Amino acid sequence: MAVRDAFGLTFSGATEAGFSSYSQAVRELQCFIGDPVGSVDRAIAEDPGFVMAHVFKGYLFGLATEREATAVARTCHEAALPLAATPREQAHVAALGHLAAGRWHEAARLLEDIAIEFPLDALALQTGHQIDFFTGNARMLRDRIGRALPSWQSGMPGYHAILGMQAFGLEEMGDYARAEKLGRKAVDIEPRDGWAQHAVAHVMEMQSRQRDGIAWMRANPDAWTQESFLQVHNWWHLALFHYDLGQTDEVLALYDGPIYGERSMLALNMVDASSILWRLHLGGVDVGGRWAALAANWAKASAGNYAFNDAHAMMAFAGAGQEAPVRGLLEAQREAMHGNDDNAAFTRDVGYPLTLAIKAFGDGNYTETVRLIRPIRAIAHRFGGSHAQRDVVDLTLIEAALRSGDHALARALAAERALARPDSPLSALLSRRATNLSEN
């Protein structure tokens, strides 16, 4: 029993009915909308021997960066292992096994090989692209998709998603003009493609085109928010544009509304909440009880599972002034560094020193913050995220230098930022503060 899709790929153990639900799940994931877990569960219920349905579900949970979700990914891998599968599908099963075991880089390499042989395997491309994001591999964000792009053409199902991923990879490699062109094209094809929408927002963030960014995000929010599980992150991008313009009230309104009004327990959403509150905190904005509410949810999450999440949890704990979860988080990270998965390196190289630096900032020990962040800035990509997300590391360092009274370093860092983001009002503000510090 098997089905062939529109690209000629074989799906073992599938009937037409089960494959229909699976195809819906793929379309939902490509736009980051709907309920792909529910859709793939229907496929599995229809066809329990449908190996790629189990793999797909495992990928969804394996990419959630949460310990409980990773356990589901392992269960999916175990279910897929004994099922009939083609060599391509067997490679997917192996990739899921690596992902579920925390071997992100091994999973990425296997998915790379699948896509090299089968460039129309959209799931291999998208899962690999997400792993590249979570491991901060900017070159592969671009090249994994770039290798396959010649095999794709307009009119193929999911073509918009390929363009959107290529746009994000180009942006992370600094190719802003082509990134924006492809991202806009993807959104023209499929307005609900939240990843393509966010790729264009990234371009505008990196180019300090705040007003363009606000116009882009506010032009058709119904398209990128409707049933979208990426919408919090896209609202976060809108908040960044307002933040750079110094429009604090707008930022807080977005936080209290679509960013964290519902107080999500999902790590990906809590990361965005921490990230925007911490930026306000760096600017001396009193965010009131928002820290305590966010910290309470972070305290329920599993620490030591993904270093990028840990650093953002520490922002909430430090902002709320809570000692017990701080100690628990640092202990979990120390334990994680003894693990045999990739997160051990993520934590050791970047996550642990950054988390200590954030704690130091919260304690008012700005000199220690500077000491801890300076050695890791150049390798911060190793623990994942985008340039826009990791910008909070640089902002924390600059603010710590200013508050520590290190005139020379503050001036140097402000000059560096002004060169990288010359049109940013925030760059201008930091330069003025560094100059005033030197003169006083």
The confidence band for 426, taking pLDDT boundaries of 50, 70 and 90, is very high
Q: What is the pLDDT of residues 261-299, one digit of tens each?
A: 999 999 999 999 999 999 999 999 999 999 999 999 999
Compute how many other C-beta atoms are within 10 angstroms of the C-beta atom of residue 16: 9
Q: What is the pLDDT of residues 84-109, one digit of tens each?
A: 999 999 999 999 999 999 999 999 99
Segment 382-409 mean pLDDT: 97
CA distances from 165 to 63, 160, 179, 197 (A): 16, 9, 9, 10
**Whole-number pLDDT of residue 1:** 82
Please state, in angstroms and rounded to a whole number, the distance separating the CA atoms of residues 173 and 199. Answer: 12
What is the torsional sign of CA 121, 122, 127, 128?
A: positive
Identify the CATH number of the domain defined by range 1-132: 1.25.40.10
The confidence band for 406, taking pLDDT boundaries of 50, 70 and 90, is very high
**Whole-number pLDDT of residue 77:** 98
Q: What is the pLDDT of residues 57-87, one digit of tens each?
A: 999 999 999 999 999 999 999 999 999 999 9
The answer, yes or no, to whether residue 243 has pLDDT greater than 90, is yes
Helix 366-373 vs helix 387-404: angle between axes, to the nearest 10 degrees? 140
User: Residue 355 is encoded by which pair of tokens?
Assistant: 């988390």
**Whole-number pLDDT of residue 407:** 93
Segment 19-41 mean pLDDT: 98
**Whole-number pLDDT of residue 437:** 86
3-state secondary structure the chain: CEEECCCCCEEECCCHHHHHHHHHHHHHHHHCECCHHHHHHHHHHHCCCCHHHHHHHHHHHHCCCCHHHHHHHHHHHHHHCCCCCCHHHHHHHHHHHHHHCCCHHHHHHHHHHHHHHCCCCHHHHHHHHHHHHHCCCHHHHHHHHHHHHHHCCCCCCCHHHHHHHHHHHHHHCCCHHHHHHHHHHHHHHCCCCHHHHHHHHHHHHHCCCHHHHHHHHHHCHHHHHCCECCHHHHHHHHHHHHHHCCCHHHHHHHHHHHHCCCCCCCHHHHHHHHHHHHHHHHCCCCCCCHHHHHHHHHCCCCCCCCHHHHHHHHHHHHHHCCHHHHHHHHHHHHHHCCCCCHHHHHHHHHHHHHHHHHHHHHCCCHHHHHHHHHHHHHHHHHHCCCHHHHHHHHHHHHHHHHHHCCHHHHHHHHHHHHHHCCCCHHHHHHHHHHHHHHHC
Q: What is the pLDDT of residues 290-301, one digit of tens each?
A: 999 999 999 999
The confidence band for 132, taking pLDDT boundaries of 50, 70 and 90, is very high
**Whole-number pLDDT of residue 89:** 98
Q: Say if residue 352 is exposed, middle or buried (CB neighbours under 10 Å; 0-12, 13-18, 19+).
A: buried
The confidence band for 373, taking pLDDT boundaries of 50, 70 and 90, is very high
Q: What is the pLDDT of residues 315-346, one digit of tens each?
A: 999 999 999 999 999 999 999 999 999 999 99
**Whole-number pLDDT of residue 439:** 76
Please state, in angstroms and rounded to a whole number, the distance separating the CA atoms of residues 372 and 68. Answer: 31
Q: Domain residue spans in the chain?
A: 1-132
User: Residue 438 is encoded by which pair of tokens?
Assistant: 């030197």
The confidence band for 438, taking pLDDT boundaries of 50, 70 and 90, is confident
